[in-house]
A and B are shown apart, each in its own frame.
Chain A
Amino acid sequence: MDTSTVQFVYNYKDYAGKDCEAKLDITFPFEDESIGELVTQLLAQMDPMMRYLDEDINLQKELQLFIDREHQKFYDDYSEKLINQAANEELDLEAIVRNTERLYKEEMLQFADRIGPSDEDIFAQSFHRLVHSSSLEEILKRERGYAKVIADMTDHMDSEVETLKDSQQQEMDSQINQLDITTTSEDINNLLAQQYTTHNFVRKRYESELEAMMGHQKNEYRDWITSQVSQMFQVSPVSTPLGNRSSMFVSQQPSMEESFTIHLGSQLKHMHNIRILSANVTDLCSPLHVDENLNGLNMALGLYSSSLCGVVVLTPSIQAQANKSIIKNANRSTEFHFDQMDVQLEKIEKQIRALNTSDTSSTPSNGSGSGSGNSTEGSATSSPIKQHVARLKTGDFYITKHSNLSQSHVIFHLISDEPINSPSEINSRHPVILGLRNILKTASRHDITTLTIPALLRHEMSEDMTVPWCIRRAELVFKCAKGFMIESASWGGAELSTLQLLLPHDISEELFTTLAGMVPNVFRVANPKILVDSTK
């Protein structure tokens, strides 16, 4: 809406009886300002004596009338203008009606086309309810049983494939030894092709078997959960606590770690936990039901709660490709709640492709410089066939959801193309750091309260990662994380209760101690509360 400025002219007689006037430009529509203020402004133009002559009383009265009149006039004129335009067909009434209808339909429950809760929602609620009841034990037992079957099958497949490989290798070796004696190179090629086919066949057979099994398990499991819930409803409605604050971590592998409690914020302090640890990132995403530990319980309790666990895993930009061992871990058992990880990745890849085509069509100028640079650089390293494969860039991330990994419900796959053997220097404006910020923001918006980030932005140590470089890098990440956490207080989402700083598993003990020692310097460690006997 436009505004208009109208001059207010106030005529008065000063103490000598001379005619004077005071003027003030007032903007309409008139908003929230107090009249008294404007009166002061006008009085300031007059002789100071006028205030003592109580000129302000009359002035205020006139000003009030003037403002009321002009304010109303402004709106009336404006409305009239629009109505005339509508009458003269100068406005796109069609669009107005369309927009109005859209707004009401999309934003008001009263007008929206009601969609019932999705199957996922229903299942989520049922599961959450059930898991907070006495059935928990049974659920876990069942899950474990299912997991065992799949794990056994996978092991079986692996061993069979291994034996097959061995026998094929032997066969090949013997053939090669006989090369130019009894066999030709053509024979060898044929054999190779044949072996390849057999190998593939065996693998495929098992894989489809696995897939079928998983599908079967998933259906059975979900049916069972639903039936359990309806039973439970019949017995007694149990109110269940929402959320789960119990510790998610039962440290299983002896790794180096140290914990701190910190306070952030300049006046009002928020408490957070910081844990620095050295571990392999795949250990945080290990299969859930390998051994009889309590992780299964914790993960199940937390899955549909508002205190989720997330892990940031760095991944190169070549396709939506996750860390191989994590995929393997995820495939050790059936994913009962979400798609199997491969399927999730496939879907994401599809979306990336859609994203890129829409990207180039809608905003061709946007970031094309860096984008094309990246793609040419990328295509040089990857296979030349996939020339125009859409891909994410450094700092973007995609998310996979899991119910069968040991310490994470959510994996953030953060794209980072840092070459392995030449550690570079980055600053706080680097895309990976900004990506990290987006991750924290997403975490806050979606109630992820425990987050693990790679503190060196690397998962493995390499020769070139010198001690000073590591210190510099860690300091940067610590400080940025601190800044983002302080900022997050104003995002209005869930507060991050625990931040885990993950160091590579092959880090030296000495370096670990150095980096751990930096934490209390960067973050403000909470003072220990000491109870003093006041009677003393």
Chain B
Amino acid sequence: MAAGATSLAKSETRRLCAITFFARLHPGDVCGSNGLPLTPNSIAILGRSQRLKELQHEHLCQYLDVVRGKHERTIVVSEYVGCTLEDYVKRHAQTPINHTHILRIFRQVVSGLDVLHAHKLVVHNLEPRHILVEGCDDSVHVKLFNYGMHHMTKGGAYVPFPIGNVRYMAPERLLGVNGNIKSDVWAWAMLLLEQLLQTELWPKLKLSTIAWKLLAFARNANVSVVEKIAREHQRLEQYQQLPLDVRDLLERCLSVLPAQRPLPADLLQHQCLAQLSQGPVLRPNALAEPLPLLLRCPLSQIYHLWQLAGGDVQAELKKEGLIRSEAPILALPQIVRLSGASVCPPRSQSYLMDERVVLLKLQPLLQRLSRLPATVYFPLLHMQRQQQQQQQLQQQQQELPLLIRERDIEYQFRRVRLFTRLLQGYPHTADQLQREAAIDIPPLLRGPIWAALLGVLPNASYTKIDKFTATSTDRQIEVDIPRCHQYDELLSSPDGHRKLKRLLKAWVTAHPQYVYWQGLDSLTAPFLYLNFNNEELAFLSLFRFIPKYLQWFFLKDNSAIIKEYLSKFSQLSAFHEPLLAQHLASINFIPELFAIPWFLTMFSHVFPLHKILHLWDKLMLGDSSYPLFIGVAILKQLKSTLLSSGFNECILLFSDLPDIVMESCVIESQKMYECTPKSITHRQHAPRIQTPHVLDIGAAEVELQHLQSELCPRISAKDVHQLLMHTPEQLALIDLRSVVEFGRVHVPHSINIPFATVQLGERRLEALQVPQLEAHLRQRIVVCVSNIHQHAVEFSQFLVTCGVLRTCILHKGFNVLHSIEPNILISN
């Protein structure tokens, strides 16, 4: 029993593995056709390999991650099961495996090949080490491993070493044909032959001799390759004893001319393989002890957790001696010419391709998470009691800073599992998803979660959009893409460029009313980054994002929209940061000079991706006014610098935005967003969700010129009413009408400061001679009310110069208050 448990544990811990190699260095200084420096090959590999991650099939090991190390090192992390065919055969050395068994294994290999072929992928490095066998005897399960090498390196173009084992290489590959699936069929048949003859092909021959032999096959196409090989290994008799259909199969697969070889799909139909499929296919371990719960989760999540649990691929490789650290000083060149040519000491062998595989241990992770109840692994969404329990559990953790939560393995595990469930139930679970996302968003699932928050429902419309016809914006797009978030490896890879271009063109085509404004590329980048393998989701997210936050911004003439937006931004800065706004206004540092790229790209042009992600996490939850508060929060963070700077310094400061602490910026903007009445942010061009209330600010009631001339925003009677009813302690109403009018009718608790008596020359609150005015206004929303609009405007301006926070003007003046039902006004 104990032995069984350990052997199980042993096999369980070998779920992930890593291999590593160096990408080819670009020789000297070369530029691409666009005049920009060439992308390092390791980045190109990274981009190409993303597609492989999407392949999920029972006979393929899943790709999990590609990591770029220093000096063009590339590390590939993938699934690993059981043992290699090589070891499997060795294990059965005493009792030779029977033919059906062998064929069963190879049938599964073909079925893997067939899937790859359907994706237009070829393996080209099929060999016993890359066939993993799990289980035993009747219930073997086979997976292809490391099959993506050819694809990710673009047929070997990105790496210095050759791909594939010469022993199993089809003759045409030696001659330079790269990419024919039928070369894999050859390799498959060679492997099968090797197993059926129970021998090793040319075990002692030199590489060049084997190559010669293969080329010799090519030269006399009439000879049967199989028989020749069998004869060479003195196994002709054994070969002739094989069933006829197996021999026929081998003969056909090992035809010298690829055209005569069958395709993997044909092979599956071949009678000697087809009959196997009828047999009962038992999943290994299905009847054995149950799998740990964790291993029933998707492998990508397991790998993510493994990393959070302190897993470090590079360290594991180092431990196994696959990353050797040689003293860099010893490898220095002696002479380097201007042309880049150099005299170097002989290259160290640590740069050669080492095909060893390093297994990553899952045991610590399994142990770490084994204490958790099953409900965490598979949360139930509609059980009230359980949810409450969970909430209590998590409340404490939710008070920790976001960055810590994102690295807490247990917390992330709970979140990931919960969101996985929620996403499976989407759109039915949209409300709950929104609630949970307000707490935080697990980075692993951010792409689909954002899409869900934006209300995306994939409908295959993306493929129908024309993304290829040349348009007039192509040139601009070509220019912008190589400048868009290029520090990121995915976005700077050729695949990333291609995808970004397709997305942009699709967006432009899908919106004939809009034009491509520079900045759309930055706006698209986060969505592409998160949904690199799912262009449609990226596109639809963008498609929904823009009308939500950037309504009309991409019109050919967007000046009215931008002007309105920036004026509102000024007003909001005056509302929340009166002194700063005043300073900026006094040095003429208007938002037009710095804030257009902020809002046009929703800050994605000014911040690096990792910051945008956190910013947008919150943005997605707010409405179209939220970005304005982010802008104010940025100003607030730079307040002290700005207050002490003149115009030139400010321009310089914003030309390259300094490091902003994103978390405090997010918190600050959220605070402001929450304490600001909705009507304060009213914009004519904002997307409208509901039809406005009578007491709201109507759609076209505030013209741009008013907006621009008023330093303070307007508040709607509805919001004043709300404040008065629910939170009167947050409202300070200043009534500017004359004493007589005030006496006749007024709002309870309002302060009467008749405008006529006020001297606005002196910029001090004390000058108003109202006792304890400052204390009264502090921490409240200050609403200036008058009959004459101009009075309110001037007075509010005065308050701003005095540094009074949250000053606003009642829209439509005092008289609008009469129409509120039931009446709120009182008289003396």
Contact = CB atoms under 8 A, between A and B. Distances in A.
Interface of A: 1, 29-32, 34, 36-37, 39-41, 44, 71-72, 75-80, 82-83, 85-87, 91, 93, 96-98, 100-101, 103-112, 114-115, 120-121, 124-125, 128, 242, 263, 265-269, 303-306, 308, 347-348, 351-352, 355, 392-399, 401, 409-410, 431, 434-435, 438-439, 442, 445-448, 487, 489-494, 524, 526-527, 530, 534
A98 B172 CA distance: 16
19 contacts: A36-B464, A40-B466, A40-B467, A75-B258, A76-B180, A87-B218, A100-B166, A104-B166, A108-B355, A268-B608, A269-B608, A351-B343, A393-B337, A409-B329, A431-B338, A435-B338, A438-B336, A490-B37, A527-B641
B412 to A, nearest CB: 24
A213 B40 CA distance: 48
A263 B487 CA distance: 14
Contact of B607 (A98, A267, A490): A267
Contact of B257 (A80, A97, A305, A447): A80
Contacts, number: 249
A323 B725 CA distance: 85
Contacts of A86: 171, 175, 215, 218-219
B337 A83 contact: no
Contact of A83 (B37, B218, B352): B218
B215 A399 contact: no
A104 B71 CA distance: 22
Contacts of A347: 334
A1 B176 contact: yes
A30 B120 contact: yes
A96 B287 CA distance: 52
Interface of B: 37, 40, 42-43, 68, 70-72, 120, 160-162, 166, 171-172, 174-182, 207-208, 211-212, 215, 218-221, 256-259, 263, 325-338, 340, 342-343, 348-349, 352-355, 463-469, 485-488, 492, 605-609, 640-641, 656, 658-659, 664
A347 B658 CA distance: 49
A531 to B, nearest CB: 11
Contact of A395 (B42, B338, B605): B338
Q: Pick the most buried of A78, A106, A442: most chain B CB atoms within 10 A of its CB.
A: A78
A84 B212 CA distance: 16
Residue among A71, A100, A308 with max Cβ neighbours from chain B (10 Å) = A100
B7 to A, nearest CB: 30
A105 B175 contact: no
A526 B211 CA distance: 60
Nearest to B212: A97
A34 B332 CA distance: 46
Given A40-B467, A107-B352, 7 more contacts: A30-B120, A40-B465, A80-B257, A85-B175, A97-B212, A112-B349, A492-B43
Contact of B332 (A75, A114, A401): A401
Nearest to B120: A30
Contacts of B37: 487, 490
A87 B120 contact: no
A141 B391 CA distance: 63
A48 to B, nearest CB: 12
Given A36-B464, A101-B211, A108-B161, A492 B68 contact: yes
Nearest to B169: A100
Contacts of B70: 492-494
A223 B650 CA distance: 63
Contacts of A112: 349, 352
A83 B221 contact: yes
A53 to B, nearest CB: 15
A53 B721 CA distance: 57
Given A97-B215, A492-B71, A392 B337 contact: yes
Given A71-B120, A114-B349, A267 B606 contact: yes
In this complex, which of A91, A97, A355 has the most chain B Cβ atoms within 10 angstroms of its Cβ?
A: A97
A395 B341 CA distance: 12
A96 B174 contact: yes
Nearest to A306: B328
B640 A530 contact: yes
A203 B90 CA distance: 72
B75 to A, nearest CB: 13
Contacts of B335: 348, 351-352, 355, 392, 396-399
B331 A446 contact: yes
A493 B72 CA distance: 8
A493 B328 CA distance: 12
A268 B487 contact: yes
Most buried by B among A267, A392, A439: A267
A288 to B, nearest CB: 16
Contacts of A263: 658-659
Given A103-B162, A410-B332, A526-B659, A267 B485 contact: yes
B338 A1 contact: no
A267 B607 CA distance: 5
Nearest to A1: B178
A41 B658 CA distance: 46
B328 A355 contact: no
Give the residue among B70, B160, B178, B340 with the most A Cβ atoms within 10 A.
Answer: B70
A107 B353 contact: yes
Contacts of A100: 162, 166, 174, 207-208, 211
A76 to B, nearest CB: 4
A124 B330 contact: yes
Contacts of A448: 328
Given A263-B658, A410-B329, A527-B658, A83 B175 contact: yes
Contacts of A31: 120
Contacts of B256: 83
Contact of B215 (A37, A93, A494): A93
Contact of B355 (A30, A40, A110, A438): A110
B338 A438 contact: yes
Contact of B219 (A87, A399, A490, A492): A87
A75 B180 contact: yes
Query: Closest 7 interchain pairs by CB?
Result: A36-B463, A107-B161, A304-B327, A268-B608, A75-B180, A395-B338, A79-B172
B505 to A, nearest CB: 11
A366 to B, nearest CB: 8
Given A489-B487, A527-B658, A351 B334 contact: yes
Contacts of A103: 161-162
Contacts of B171: 83, 86
A397 B334 CA distance: 8
Nearest to A435: B338
B167 to A, nearest CB: 11
A83 B175 CA distance: 8
Contacts of B172: 79, 82-83
Nearest to B179: A29
A1 B215 contact: no
A446 B344 CA distance: 12
Contacts of B608: 267-269
A494 B256 CA distance: 49
Given A83-B256, A399-B333, A101 B207 contact: yes
A268 B470 CA distance: 32
* From A83, A93, A108, A265, residue with most partner B Cβ within 10 Å: A83
Contacts of B337: 355, 392-393, 396
Contacts of A395: 338
A44 B487 CA distance: 38
B71 A80 contact: no
A91 to B, nearest CB: 7
Contacts of A492: 40, 42-43, 68, 70-72
A454 B330 CA distance: 25
Given A87-B219, A97-B212, A442-B333, A37 B467 contact: yes
Nearest to B172: A79
B328 A446 contact: yes
A404 to B, nearest CB: 14
Contacts of B178: 1
B791 to A, nearest CB: 35
